C-alpha cells in the first residue's frame, strides 16, 4: 500500500490550495477525489467573486480568513497565471428603508478591518455604472474585491502542486477510513487503499460523511443550491463591477457580474436541497434570477442566456467555517462548512491548516527547488499576430481552430490533455481551454475534442466521456 505523510480528501479549491501550500515542504502528499477531474464540486459552479470582507459577522473565522484572504488570493492567482481582476463591487439599496443596511455593512466592514469601502448615493453609483437601475437609492462601494475563475484557479493550484511532487488520485471515492497506530488507511469504493499519517477532510458537501467514517461527526452539512444564468459576451459589458443587492423581503438578493472571460453572470438563488449533487436547474428559480437580475440592471437582454447551472453550498448550522484538528481522532483535520466566501479564503484557509499541522508536530522543512509559478494556459490567445505566426511555424497545431466560439486551438487543447493535472474528459478540456464554453456550448468542437483525448490517452473514442464514469458520448461504432 502506498504511504504518504499527508492525505487530502477532496480536490476542490480548498483541497487543491492546501496541496499547493504543502508542496513547498519536504513532505509526501496525496490528493484524493472521487471524480474524474479536480474542481467538480462547489468549486466549478459559483459566482467567482473575491469578496471584499464586509459581509461575515465580526469575530468569526470567516471574517478573519476573508480579511486576510483577499490579497493572498490575488497573489496566488497572479503567480499561477489564472484569470482574475480587481473590478470592485457595489451593494445596492433600492428603497429608503433599505439604506440603513448599507450603513450597517459599511460599519461591519470597518470592524472586520477592510479597506477601500465607501458609501455613495444612488446618483454616484449610476455615474460609475450607467446601466444601474434608477431605483438604486444608496450603495456600498467596495474597491478591494474582484473576480477570479474558480475552476482554473483550482486546476492551476493542483497542477502546480503536482509539478512540485504532490500525487493526485482520481476516481478515488473514499468509502472507509480506518484509524491505525500512526495515521489512517483510507479505502476507495473500488478497493484501492492508501495510508497517511494525517488526513485533511476537504470533501465539501460530503465532509460530514468522512467525519462519520472516523467517528467524529459533530456537524451536518446543509446543502443549499444556487442557480445561475450565464449570458453571451454581447451582454458582458453591461456592468464593470459586481453588483449585489441588499438582503431584503425577497431574499439575499441576486448579483449581476461580468466574468473573467467577458460574459455576464446573474444569480445565485438559495434553496435547501437533498444532497451535494442536486445540481438541476428549475424554471421557477431561473425566473427569479431573471426578475431580480433585471431589478439591478434593467437593460440585460435575457434572450442572450447561453447556459444555466447550479452550484451547491456546503453550509453548516451556525454558518462559520469549521477548521480544526479533531478533538477525538488524532491527525484528522476538519475543513468543513466551506460555503461562501470559501473561494476567496482558499489561500488563507490553506495557511490556517498549515498552522494546525505545524502545531500538531508536522515538520515543515522547505524544499530548495519549490516553484510556485505556472505557465499561462491562455498565453497563445493573448499574443500579437506576429507572435502567433511564430508559434504556429514551430507547432502547426496552434494554427488550427477547434472551438470557433471561443477561438481555441488544437495546440491549446493538446496542452490541456498533457499538462498537470491532465484533462481526461470533455468537461476537463472545457474548464482548461474554454473549448465548448461559448455560444454553441460545444456543438461544433466536442467531437474533435473527443478525438484528441482518444489519441492522447491511447483509448477509443467510444471510451471518451463527458465527465467521467458512465457519461459516454458515443455508444458504438457503426
Binding site for ligand FAD (CB under 6 A): 9-15, 32-35, 40-43, 46-49, 51, 172-174, 202-206, 226, 268, 311-313, 338-344
Q: Smallest Cα–Cα separation from 38: which of 422, 460, 439?
A: 422
CB 231 within 8 A of CB 264: yes
Taking each helix axis from N to C end, the angle separating 426-433 and 410-418, rounded to the nearest 10 degrees, works out to 110
* Minimum gap (Å) between residue 385 Cβ and ligand FAD: 36
H or E, element range at 273 = none
Smallest distance from ligand FAD to CB 19, Å:
11
Judged by beta carbon, residue 13 or residue 77, the one nearer ligand FAD is 13
Selecting among 51, 84, 334, 378, the annotated active-site residue is: 51
* Separation between Cα atoms, residue 197 and residue 183, nearest integer Å: 4
- Minimum distance from CB of 384 to ligand FAD (Å)? 34
Q: Determine the distance from the C-alpha atom of residue 175 to the mean position of all C-alpha atoms in its chain, rounded to a whole number.
A: 25
Q: How far is the CB of 392 from ligand FAD (least distance, A)?
A: 36
Provide the minimum distance between the beta carbon of 341 and ligand FAD in the complex, in angstroms, as a whole number: 4
Residue 447 Cβ vs ligand FAD, minimum distance, rounded to whole Å: 27
Nearest to 322 by CA among 158, 151, 204: 204
* CA angle centred on 36, ends 30 and 38, rounded to 5°: 60
Please identify, using beta-carbon distances, which residue of 183 and 342 lies nearer to ligand FAD: 342
Q: Using CB atoms, what's the residue nearest to ligand FAD?
A: 342
The three cell numbers of residue 63 are 471574517
Q: Which is nearer to ligand FAD, 246 or 340 (CB)?
A: 340
Beta-bridge partners for 335: 323
Q: Kindly tell me which of 91 and 203 has the beta carbon lying closer to ligand FAD.
A: 203
Q: In whole angstroms, what is the distance from residue 453 CA to residue 424 CA? A: 7
Smallest distance, ligand FAD to C-beta of residue 127, A: 26
- What is the closest distance, in whole angstroms, from the C-beta atom of residue 88 to ligand FAD in the complex? 14
> Which of residues 312 and 414 has its CB atom nearest to ligand FAD in the complex?
312
Report the residue count for the chain. 478
Instruction: Summarize the chain as % helix, strand, coil (round to 5).
Output: 35, 25, 40
Q: Work out the angle at residue 313's Cα, subtended by the Cα atoms of residues 307 and 314, and round it to the nearest 5 degrees.
A: 150
- DSSP code at position 334: E
User: d(Cα 190, Cα 199) in Å, to the nearest integer?
Assistant: 20
| Whether residue 51 lies in the annotated active site | yes
Task: Please tell me the number of Cα atoms within 13 Å of 68 on its side-chain side.
Answer: 12
Other Cβ atoms closer than 10 A to 97: 10
Start-to-end CA distance of the chain, whole Å, equals: 43
Q: Which is nearer to ligand FAD, 186 or 402 (CB)?
A: 186
Nearer to ligand FAD, 290 or 407 (CB): 290
Please give the C-alpha separations between residue 134 and each of 82, 126, 193, in angstroms, as whole numbers: 35, 8, 60
- From 257, 265, 264, 267, select the one nearest 226 (Cα to Cα): 267
Closest to ligand FAD by CB, 40 or 112: 40
Which residues are part of the catalytic machinery?
51
Amino acid at each position: 500500500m502506498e504511504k504518504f505523510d499527508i492525505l487530502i480528501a477532496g480536490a476542490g479549491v480548498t483541497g487543491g490550495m492546501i496541496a499547493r501550500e504543502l508542496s513547498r515542504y519536504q513532505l509526501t502528499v496525496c490528493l484524493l477525489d472521487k471524480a474524474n477531474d479536480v474542481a467538480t464540486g462547489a468549486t466549478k459552479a459559483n459566482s467567482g467573486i473575491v469578496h471584499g470582507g464586509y459581509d461575515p459577522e465580526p469575530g468569526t473565522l470567516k471574517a478573519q480568513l476573508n480579511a486576510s484572504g483577499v490579497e493572498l488570493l490575488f497573489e496566488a492567482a497572479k503567480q499561477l497565471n489564472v484569470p482574475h481582476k480587481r473590478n470592485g463591487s457595489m451593494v445596492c439599496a433600492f428603497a429608503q428603508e433599505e439604506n440603513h443596511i448599507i450603513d450597517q455593512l459599511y460599519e461591519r466592514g470597518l470592524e472586520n478591518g477592510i479597506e477601500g469601502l465607501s458609501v455613495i448615493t444612488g446618483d454616484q453609483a449610476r455615474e460609475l455604472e450607467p446601466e444601474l437601475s434608477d431605483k438604486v437609492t444608496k450603495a456600498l462601494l467596495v474597491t478591494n474585491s474582484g473576480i477570479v475563475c474558480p475552476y482554473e484557479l483550482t486546476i492551476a493550484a493542483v497542477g502546480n502542486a503536482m509539478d512540485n511532487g504532490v500525487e493526485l488520485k482520481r476516481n478515488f471515492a473514499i468509502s472507509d477510513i480506518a484509524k491505525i497506530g500512526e495515521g489512517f488507511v483510507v479505502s476507495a469504493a473500488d478497493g484501492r487503499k492508501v495510508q497517511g499519517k494525517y488526513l485533511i477532510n476537504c470533501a465539501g458537501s460530503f465532509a460530514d460523511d468522512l467525519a462519520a467514517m472516523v467517528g467524529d461527526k459533530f456537524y451536518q452539512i446543509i446543502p443549499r443550491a444556487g442557480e445561475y444564468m450565464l449570458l453571451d459576451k454581447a451582454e458582458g459589458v453591461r456592468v464593470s463591477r459586481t453588483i449585489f443587492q441588499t438582503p431584503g423581503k425577497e431574499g439575499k438578493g441576486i448579483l449581476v457580474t461580468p466574468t473573467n472571460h467577458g460574459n455576464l453572470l446573474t444569480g445565485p438563488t438559495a434553496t435547501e436541497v437533498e444532497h451535494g449533487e442536486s445540481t438541476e436547474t428549475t424554471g421557477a428559480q431561473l425566473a427569479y434570477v431573471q426578475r431580480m437580475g433585471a431589478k439591478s440592471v434593467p437593460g440585460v437582454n435575457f434572450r442572450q442566456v447561453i447556459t444555466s447551472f447550479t452550484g451547491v453550498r456546503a453550509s453548516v448550522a451556525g454558518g462559520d467555517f469549521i477548521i480544526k484538528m479533531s478533538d477525538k481522532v488524532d491527525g484528522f483535520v476538519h475543513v468543513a462548512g466551506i460555503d461562501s466566501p470559501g473561494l476567496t479564503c482558499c489561500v488563507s484557509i490553506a495557511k490556517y491548516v498549515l498552522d494546525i499541522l505545524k502545531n500538531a508536530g508536522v515538520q515543515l522543512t522547505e524544499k530548495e527547488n519549490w516553484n510556485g509559478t505556472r505557465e499561462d494556459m491562455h498565453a497563445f490567445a493573448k499574443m500579437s499576430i506576429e507572435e502567433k505566426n511564430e508559434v504556429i511555424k514551430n507547432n502547426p497545431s496552434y494554427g488550427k481552430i477547434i472551438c470557433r466560439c471561443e477561438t481555441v486551438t488544437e495546440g491549446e487543447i493538446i496542452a490541456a490533455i498533457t499538462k498537470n493535472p491532465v484533462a481526461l474528459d470533455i468537461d476537463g478540456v472545457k474548464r482548461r481551454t474554454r473549448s465548448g464554453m461559448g455560444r454553441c456550448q460545444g456543438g461544433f468542437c466536442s467531437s474533435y475534442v473527443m478525438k484528441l483525448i482518444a489519441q492522447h490517452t491511447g483509448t477509443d473514442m467510444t471510451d471518451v466521456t463527458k465527465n467521467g464514469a458512465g457519461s459516454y458520448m458515443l455508444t458504438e461504432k457503426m
